Amino acid sequence: MAVLPQVEKTEVEIKPSDIKIDTFRASGPGGQNVNMRSTAVRLTHIPTEIVISSQNDRNQAANKENALNILRSKLYTLKTEKKLKKLGKERRAQIGTADRSEKIRTYNFPQDRITDHRIKKSWHDLEKILDGNLGPIIKKF
């Protein structure tokens, strides 16, 4: 059994034209009501092909409302997962692979040198550059 979030009707909008509703006779205990009336509900969300069945209550309207709530929760979960996946993809694109080939600049303190790997140029006197003397670097860019 899955635990799904309680989703408000305003958070996920389900268009009536996107839903196919089937009714059928419920199975299990319930006496003559089960055998005589179609109280169970099967909802099919056409765009995502998600199918939800509900036959908990002896009332068709209650089963339909229950199925709609479950469908709303599943659609909300899909929407959130899609959003997180997109965010993760964008984040990975910004971070990169962190390989040495992606480095932009190297600060080599023992050799008193800065190397910019994008333009393949090095400058010496690291202390002056770090103090704000960026003139030689700006000229090369």
Write the CATH number for 54. 3.30.160.20
For residue 11, tell me if it sits in a domain. no
Query: Structure tokens of 14?
Result: 């389900």
Note down the domain range covering 39.
Answer: 16-95
Same domain? 42 vs 83 = yes
pLDDT of residue 25: 80
Residues of the chain predicted below pLDDT 50: none
Taking the model in full, what pTM does it have?
A: 0.60
The DSSP letter of residue 30 is -
pLDDT of residue 104: 84
Same domain? 91 vs 132 = no
Question: Phi and psi at residue 34, in whole multiples of 5°?
Answer: -65, -40
Contact (CB, 8 A) for 113 and 123: yes
pLDDT of residue 92: 81
For residue 4, tell me if it sits in a domain. no
Same domain? 81 vs 21 = yes
pLDDT of residue 140: 80
Number of domains in the chain: 2
Same domain? 107 vs 90 = no
pLDDT of residue 134: 85
